[in-house]
Amino acid sequence: MMLVLALICAAMGILYLFLWPKHLASKQTGWRLFVLHYFHALVWFSLALASFLRLFGIYSVNLISSGIALLAFVFYGVFLFTFVQAGKNRG
């Protein structure tokens, strides 16, 4: 089951490398442009890695997997904050 989940998350990551909020990025530069372009995909790749690591079933590896999944949550928070701020600046 975890392998299927890892593959789905990896596929979503690849998808979001190409589907990103370009309409909000027209006035963005530097860090905000980077976050809008790559962080949503990074969330999915992090979840894919966390799911893949769970396949091993070793306690210490599961702890690392949990840390990576929490890091994905942080990435998503940064992406969401930047997305909302870019929307406010656009209007």
Q: What's the whole-number mean pLDDT along residues 4-24?
A: 90
Provide the token pair at 77.
């928070």
Q: What is the pLDDT of residues 23-75, one digit of tens each?
A: 777 777 899 889 989 999 999 999 999 999 998 888 888 899 999 999 999 99
Higher pLDDT, 47 or 22: 47
**How would you label 23-33 residue by residue, b for 16+ Cβ within 10 Å and e otherwise?**
ebbeebeeebb
- pTM: predicted TM-score of the whole model, two decimal places: 0.89
